[in-house]
Amino acid sequence: MSLETVWDQFMELLKSNPLITSVTKKKFTSLPFLYVQTKVSHVELENMLKSAAMTVMKGKRLTLEMAYVRKTEDTYIYRLRFLVPSEKMFCCGNGCMDCIRFKT
């Protein structure tokens, strides 16, 4: 499953939430920023974002990186990324101590 599919599912979950007026994803310098328009508090919105992210990440080897950027009127801006783990997935043949061959 590609990250675009995960993002699509995540955005659909947020758009279907009745407490969120609108949600938009914009990329600046290759980093995704989420613009969320809502009347709920900052803490409630973060909980909704984390809950939606956990739903789409379930069963996948992804982690969430989320950082609050700012608020303008009723729009909250977050830098949000789904990260793929950086552990080795194949043997490179260099005899590394953390080689995938040694994992059980």
According to the 3-state scheme, what is the secondary structure of 22-38? EEEEEEECCEEEEEEEE
Please tell me the distance from the alpha carbon of residue 9 to that of residue 6, in angstroms, as a whole number.
5
pTM of the model: 0.78
Task: Determine contact, residues 18/63, Cβ cutoff 8 Å.
Answer: no
Q: Is the confidence at residue 1, as pLDDT, over 60?
A: no
- Among 40, 56, 47, which Cα is nearest to 2's? 56
- Predicted confidence (pLDDT) per residue in 28-81, tens digit: 988 999 999 999 999 999 999 999 999 999 988 888 999 999 998 889 999 999
Instruction: Decide if 43 contacts 32 (C-beta within 8 A).
Output: no
CA atoms within 13 A on the CB side of 19: 10
Report which residue type is found at 50: K
